[in-house]
Structure 1
Amino acid sequence: MKRVVSLYLPNWPTDRLRRRLAGDKAPAADTPLIVVGRDGAKRLVTAADATAIALGIRAGMPAAKAQALVAGLTVRDADPVGDAEALERLALWIFQRVAPIVAADHPDGIVIDSTGADHLHGGEVAMLDGLLGRLAMSGIEARAAIADTWGAAHALARHAARPTFIAPPEHGADVIAPLPIEALRLPPPMPGELRLLGFERVGDLLAQPRAPLALRFGPELGRRLDEALGRSAEPIEPIRPDELVEVRRVFAEPISAAETIARYIDKLVEALCASLERKGHGARRLDLICQRVDSRAQAVRVGMARPISDAKRITRLLCDKIETIDPGFGIETMTLCATIAEPLDARQAITSLIEEVEPDVSDLIDTLANRVGERAIYRAAPVASDVPERSVCRVPALAPDTGAGWPDAWPRPARLFLRPEPVETIALLPDHPPASFTWRGVRRRVQRADGPERVFGEWWKRNAELAAVRDYFRVEDDAGERYWLYRAGDGEDAASGSQRWFIHGVFG
């Protein structure tokens, strides 16, 4: 089932302007900002940020009226060409990180064919949350929706997403029926004319026979309805940077058998690897796009932990994804491109008979990452912090060693909880370990204990940690299980902590 993401940027001109004017020239975050353009001799507001909208300014309002309405309004000239170019650059950024089929949806959006790519990001919910989160960190307000068609996703992103909306697969017409008729991407005069006839919602149009509507409004209305419902194809023309390395195969007769697809994948990979090797590059991410005879595209994306140009290895990774390709009535074009290519590492061949060869696990990592997602394959790395939950971070599986070491003064548990869990204990204050503790409804009697290990708060990060103290104990219960518990506070001063007990980890 095809899935499409529509990314809506409601304040794109003003958000881009704030980013471009970063620094001393940028208006304050709480200062209303508008962009003004010309319509003949008139100066009209073409875009307004959230602060200006909250004060009553709307696009299409005369600029003089907006300045009279709001004191201290910041006014900038419109730059539609710059907005369009920046939107293309943002689409390219998303193309390199999210999915193989991405295009700018001018003037204020981006469309993404996420079919088969969401699992690489932890699912559709995680994919949207991650995308919107990174845009928010860059100062760009965005809303997003996922649906089965471009038209439905476009409508939901602009009229239902708060800030996201994920329509169920095979949702049909019910999901767009309650939306206003403006959601159908109709030419500007048409929604007003439809409202004069009493049509308010998309569902009102769906309930009417098509012939009278086509006679009155032409074929555009029916085409938009069919595109939103998936009855007619609306292909996405993906963005392609000039420096992209890609190879293509056009078939005289459409192909559909898995064995035939695998055979041509092998040929495409050999041609692509030859092109990459001439540049001294290896592929880090590859996209295989299969264009079907019904104008629908099937895309497969695979990633590698380090740049490679091994044709057999790349072919195997792509062929593992053949089962996700729906050829429909046949594939007429196959395109393979290196979305991310990097210089190959120069490695000296080992000639010594006694020198040990370092095992290469990158092939295994690539296989696992393309099955369960890149985020699921990682390595724990130490961070310079005394606070246990801050002393570890996730890095890519083959990330270079930073040289940082793990603390060796006191052992740490094999399993550290994301959040410490409260426990009920019986313990003597201030320095004694608990005699027993109750965790998850089970009471455990402590047979052996070691500690305390005192950990102080990082006062340079938060004022609340100026006097914070934790006393950690390693304890073993009567069943031989070992746990890592701590008391919040030093057992005497209330300012050092709540004096409550928590379990923070479990030893192997």
Structure 2
Amino acid sequence: MGATGPSADVPLVLKGSDGRRRVITAADDLAVHIGARVGMPVAQAESLFADLVIMDSDPAADALALEKLAIWALRHYSPMVAADPPAGIVLDILGAAHLYGGETGLVDDVVRRLSEMQITAYAALADTWGAAHALARFGGQAKRIVIPGGAGEALVHLPVDALRLPEDMLPDMRLLGLDTIGELAAKPRAPLARSFGQKLFRRVDQALGRLAEPIEPVQSPELISIQRIFAEPIGAPETIAKYTRRLVGQICDRLEEAGLGVRRLDLHFTRVDNRIETIFVATAKPVREPKRLTKLLCDKIETVDPGWGIDKMVMTAAFVEHLSMQQVIASYSEPARPDVEELWDALANRYGTDSLYRAVSVATDIPERAVKRMPPTSDDVGSTRNAAFRRPQRMIRPPESIMALAVLPDHPPRAFTWRGQRYAVARADGPERVRGEWWVSDNEKGKVRDYFVLEVENGERFWVFRGGDGQHEETGSLNWFMHGKFD
């Protein structure tokens, strides 16, 4: 709430109207801890909690903030995002999860970024919007991922409140003893449908995946978007590719007028049954080359299910950056730098951004920190500090414990056992002492490692270390570890 808001160490609730009653519509963690709850009459809260700060809610501002959050998710995670009032957003991540290393990686990234924005989030991933909505709000876990086909088992014990039913329907259902979704789903439908209407079991079927529930994606007026509506539905891959090519040409013209290049391009296909199929491509650098973008999109057309036909295509530049023309200076003495960005984009869109990276050397003495991953388009050349050090081509992460026979404090092992096999050491070189980086972690203060290169009788060479200096336990565990192998 800015400078005018109350202190963070006092309980805060927001009040609003529920018909003719004044009730609490939202409560922070401190307020919930002392006993305030959503739906409690304001008069009751004032009489029970003397230190409670009560402020007016602003539903219009909340709705606007939720829409902005949905647009943020649209730009970062998925081309299919919708607001899920009053306090949620829904993302269709089909085809997007691999860009974050899988479903778990995407969910973790969403929760982490929201936490950095001081937003407490509960995330659930399921086959259907209804199941994910229910588990995020009533599942009791900060993060929940349901295996494909497991929505029914995950929902069976949740209360019927999780089904997004009208509020006036819930008291009557409790009077009938229908407290959980499992109890409701097991009942005969006809009598309940006559009493409560078809919406009751429609919500059940949507949550269990028996009935489709289309997502109407949020649209930002700031986004550059082109659409094509067809008088007759289309469905052949060649026809889809033809109109994709035309839409790419049109949107590239718009991007050129604005001096922009696209970093992510979304293409939505609205089917005649009102279901929306979506594909998207991301690029390492801003692009507005029609041929290149068309190829990336057409590679994904095979994943589109046209159903009974597609009657509308919408192309949106979801993430753009400024792109200015640059003069290419040719040199007869040096060959031109190969243009590999197109290959990077093709591989990243097929296999995920995490599968494509550059390894860059880092200025550190700790071997497992000596290399970091950078985007393939990064200009970082890394540090040359460790270039002269002898390091194995194959590093073992994390280092594996070994049993070693050695004379303390600074002699190399005479023999060691690793992964159940015993090795006799023929030659050894070392130690090379590596000290802990106390500025990185307090736990590394005073810690050391002594590294040895060991050559065994069959000619194999290993890189091992002892934790500690061999004399003082405060410098390390004095245990031996395998950290690498020379080819």
Q: What's the CA shift for 1:488?
A: 0.9
Specify the code of the residue in structure 1 equivalent to 2:8: P
- Structure 1 residues 448 and 81, CA, compared in 2 at 3 Å: closer, same or farther? farther
- 1:322-351 per-residue CA deviation (whole Å, 9 max, x = no partner) reads 221111111111112111111225432233
Does the Cα contact within 8 Å between 1:144 and 1:161 map onto a contact in 2? no
| Aligned mates of 1:59, 1:392 — CA distance in 2 | 50
Which of 369, 372, 376 aligns to 2:355? It is 376
Specify the code of the residue in structure 2 equivalent to 1:326: D
Does the Cα contact within 8 Å between 2:432 and 2:450 map onto a contact in 1? yes
Aligned residue number for residue 25 of structure 2 = 46
Aligned residue number for residue 6 of structure 1 = none
- Structure 1 residues 67 and 490, CA, compared in 2 at 3 Å: closer, same or farther? farther
Aligned residue number for residue 11 of structure 1 = none
| Aligned mates of 2:321, 2:440 — CA distance in 1 | 37
Percent identity of equivalent pairs? 50
More moved, 179-188 vs 34-43: 34-43
| Aligned mates of 2:458, 2:11 — CA distance in 1 | 65
Aligned residue number for residue 145 of structure 1 = 124
- 1:338-384 per-residue CA deviation (whole Å, 9 max, x = no partner) reads 11111225432233333311112212211111111111212222333
| Aligned mates of 1:450, 1:313 — CA distance in 2 | 54
Aligned residue number for residue 297 of structure 1 = 276
Aligned residue number for residue 8 of structure 2 = 27
Which of 288, 300, 303 aligns to 1:321? It is 300
| Aligned mates of 2:144, 2:194 — CA distance in 1 | 34
- 1:55-109 per-residue CA deviation (whole Å, 9 max, x = no partner) reads 3221122445445645654554433333222222221121111110001111111
- Structure 1 residues 21 and 187, CA, compared in 2 at 3 Å: closer, same or farther? farther
Q: How does 1:391-430 map to 2 (within 5 A)?
A: 391-401=370-380, 404-430=383-409
More moved, 388-397 vs 71-80: 71-80
Which of 233, 238, 263 aligns to 2:242? It is 263
Aligned residue number for residue 287 of structure 1 = 266
Aligned residue number for residue 142 of structure 2 = 163
Does residue 485 (structure 1) correspond to residue 464 (structure 2)? The answer is yes
Specify the code of the residue in structure 2 equivalent to 1:288: L
Q: How does 1:53-452 map to 2 (within 5 A)?
A: 53-63=32-42, 65-66=44-45, 69=48, 72-160=51-139, 162-171=141-150, 173-344=152-323, 346-401=325-380, 404-452=383-431
Q: What's the CA shift for 1:43?
A: 5.2
Does the Cα contact within 8 Å between 2:259 and 2:324 map onto a contact in 1? no
Does the Cα contact within 8 Å between 2:23 and 2:40 map onto a contact in 1? yes
| Aligned mates of 2:60, 2:299 — CA distance in 1 | 43
| Aligned mates of 1:206, 1:346 — CA distance in 2 | 61
Specify the code of the residue in structure 1 equivalent to 2:268: I
> Whose RCO is larger (CA < 8 A, sep 6+)?
1
Does the Cα contact within 8 Å between 1:233 and 1:295 map onto a contact in 2? no
Does the Cα contact within 8 Å between 1:484 and 1:505 map onto a contact in 2? yes
| Aligned mates of 2:336, 2:310 — CA distance in 1 | 44
TM-score w.r.t. the length of structure 2 is: 0.91
- 1:210-268 per-residue CA deviation (whole Å, 9 max, x = no partner) reads 44333322343243234334444432121122221222111111111112211221111
Does residue 472 (structure 1) correspond to residue 440 (structure 2)? The answer is no
Q: What's the CA shift for 1:461?
A: 3.4
Aligned residue number for residue 8 of structure 1 = none
Q: What's the CA shift for 1:281?
A: 1.9
Aligned residue for 2:217, secondary structure, equals coil
| Aligned mates of 2:71, 2:86 — CA distance in 1 | 16
When the two chains are superposed, the root-mean-square deviation of aligned CA atoms in Å is: 2.6
Specify the code of the residue in structure 1 equivalent to 2:271: R
More moved, 418-427 vs 208-217: 208-217
TM-score w.r.t. the length of structure 1 is: 0.88
| Aligned mates of 1:57, 1:337 — CA distance in 2 | 44
| Aligned mates of 2:369, 2:130 — CA distance in 1 | 44
| Aligned mates of 1:65, 1:470 — CA distance in 2 | 64
Does the Cα contact within 8 Å between 1:34 and 1:47 map onto a contact in 2? yes
Q: What's the CA shift for 1:122?
A: 2.0
Does the Cα contact within 8 Å between 2:223 and 2:318 map onto a contact in 1? yes
